[in-house]
């Protein structure tokens, strides 16, 4: 059994094993976003940050968000503080908790993003 997922902009049939970095949505003007999987229950995507790019502090009502660093390093933005994140690091911002990401490095930063439920 496999499913093509409407909100998925890769055209993948799930389950398909992928290497996330193959789908990295780099762009020069702002943070790039890709959706790897989307159902009512879960959105799996990528946020791609060139040096200096950021996703400003924001929160999601009723949705938990997980970030995991796939490539590079940067800073997790929280209210009143920042925390460094490097390859493999993972963090969960429970619903309502403001969070963001800034690429504080001179190299690319690729982050896996999971929202549950999906927006």
Query: Interface residues with a copy of itself (CB under 8 A)?
Result: 1-3, 5, 14-21, 36-37, 39, 41-42, 44, 62-64, 66, 68, 70, 76, 78-79, 83-85, 88-99, 112, 114, 116-117
* Least Cβ distance, residue 53 to a copy of itself (angstroms): 19
Closest to a copy of itself by CB, 3 vs 30, is 3
Question: 23 exposed, middle or buried (CB, 10 Å; 0-12, 13-18, 19+)?
Answer: middle
Closest to a copy of itself by CB, 22 vs 29, is 22
Burial state string for 67-106 with b = 16 or more CB within 10 A and e = fewer than 16 = bbbbbbebbbbeeeeeeebeeeeebebeeeeebbbbbbbe
Closest to a copy of itself by CB, 31 vs 43, is 43
Give Cβ neighbours of residue 31 (< 8 Å, ≥ 6 apart).
Answer: 47, 48, 49, 53, 54, 55
* Least Cβ distance, residue 47 to a copy of itself (angstroms): 15
* Least Cβ distance, residue 3 to a copy of itself (angstroms): 5
């Amino acid at each position: 059994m496999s499913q093509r997922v409407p909100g998925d902009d890769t055209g993948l049939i799930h389950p398909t094993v992928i290497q996330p970095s193959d789908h990295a949505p780099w762009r020069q003007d702002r943070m790039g976003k890709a959706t790897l999987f989307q159902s009512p229950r879960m959105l799996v995507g990528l946020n791609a940050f060139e040096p200096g790019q950021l996703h400003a502090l924001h929160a999601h009502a009723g949705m938990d968000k997980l970030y995991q660093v796939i490539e590079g390093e940067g800073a997790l933005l929280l209210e009143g503080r920042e925390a460094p994140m490097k390859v493999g690091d993972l963090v969960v911002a429970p619903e309502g908790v403001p969070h963001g990401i800034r690429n504080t490095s001179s190299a690319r930063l690729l982050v896996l993003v999971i929202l549950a439920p999906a927006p």
